[in-house]
A and B are shown apart, each in its own frame.
Chain A
Amino acid sequence: MKITSENLDDVTLLVLSGRLDALSEGGLKDEVNGLVEGGRINIAVNMEDVNFIDSSGLGALISSLRTARDSGGDLRVCSLTEQVSMVFQVMRLNKVFKIFDTKEDALRSF
């Protein structure tokens, strides 16, 4: 899994690519922990290049969401691929996360 970040005003855009699973869950949590510790508490996660997610990946996303919200910020996701969208839908994560079709929509929402 590759993670790149870009600071845009008071929102950080994280771009994930690859597979978000047991082998890569730690990378996302570490990245978000580092951002929040540095005061970057509003985070948009672009998932347009994430082609696979499992429960370990979901766990990393939910943990990251908690980290951001516990600090008064939020973590919002956008551009879900087919497999990720299917998992979110079946696990009813649309009630947990704010989900946007595009990164522009996600960035504007903060």
Chain B
Amino acid sequence: MSETINLTLKVWRQADAGSEGRFVIYDMQGVSTHMSFLEMMDVLNERLIKKGEEPVAFDHDCREGICGMCSMFINGRAHGPMDATTTCQLHMRHFKDGETVVVEPWRAGPFPVIKDLVVDRSSFDRIMQAGGFISVNTGNAPDANATPVPKADADEAFAAAACIGCGACVAACKNASAMLFVSAKVSQFALLPQGQVERTDRVQAMVRQHDLEGFGGCTNTGACEAECPKEISISHIARMNREYLFSIAKGDK
């Protein structure tokens, strides 16, 4: 494999939320195939600054695939062409010499563009604030081993809790639904004994906030699961739907 490749980048540039955006084409010569995608963006930015142009704004932080800060819709896919990979863990060896690479921000009403590839995901925080917690004050907890939890339930709860809140599920969904994100938290707590007390209120509060934020409904296309960098299963959406129906049937709120 060649050590460097040349690419044509088509990058979405938008000054701020109120401005019109457009694609700008950059000729990207001599990209090392060992670079991560974000390192390639770093190199682009260094070149732009030295030419007196403004660099491309993009969100990123841990660069280990866990903080959920990086986003980017690359060649029509959230986090790019590799499955189960965040953009920061995507490497340039997966691109071909001479390829044109289109880079866009997450596109969804509830994720307005702040600048270039940076979007506002504070709607996710508000959904969590509506009910994504177990009400226990510091210092009130019983001994951690007082309540055994079946390993299978704990493992399933962990698999749901692995969500990094990046928003790829929303970006991938034709309805801009955040059901995978919401269900991951609902499911985690529904599976654990500690989450039982607030089980019905929680699902209702979180779904209500999800709808208020303008996210769409789920039509079971499975795009979210396919693009989730942490491979969160849509079976959690099914569990959330059961939780929701159950909470309605119980007549709470």
Tell whether A pairs with B.
no
Q: Which residues of A contact B (CB under 8 A)?
A: none
Could you tell me which B residues sit within 8 Å of A by CB distance?
none
